[in-house]
Amino acid sequence: LDKDGSFSGSYLPGPAASDPKILSSPLEGSQQDAGLVPQPTFSFTVYWRLQDLEMARMTAFLGQCYVGTNGEETLHTLWLMREATESPAEDWKAT
């Protein structure tokens, strides 16, 4: 976590670890200053790197980091995934 609250890294969902089509994907995000709020909110995006390049996908995550009395962090998130489509007529099935 940088001083301005930004962070970056890679993302690989647990179930995908056994799927060779899904690769570790880059993520970029930001978080509230944990020094100012005890349970900071955060957001990040993941651009999926897939071996099958037929579909481009991106997911946005928005959530909050809860810190327990023992210091254990738990992330609660909502997410939305978007696939690229060929035309506006296909927009309905992209999200």
> What is the pLDDT at residue 16?
60
Q: Report the alpha-carbon angle 6-21-86, nearest 5.
A: 80
End-to-end CA distance of the chain: 29
* Largest interatomic CA distance in the chain: 51
> What is the pLDDT at residue 62?
97
> What is the pLDDT at residue 52?
61
22-36 residue pLDDT tens? 778 899 999 998 888
Contact 33, 40 (CB under 8 A): yes
48-86 residue pLDDT tens? 877 665 567 889 999 999 988 998 999 999 999 998 888
Q: Tell me the domains of the chain and their CATH numbers.
A: 6-93 (2.40.128.30)
pTM score, two decimals?
Answer: 0.77
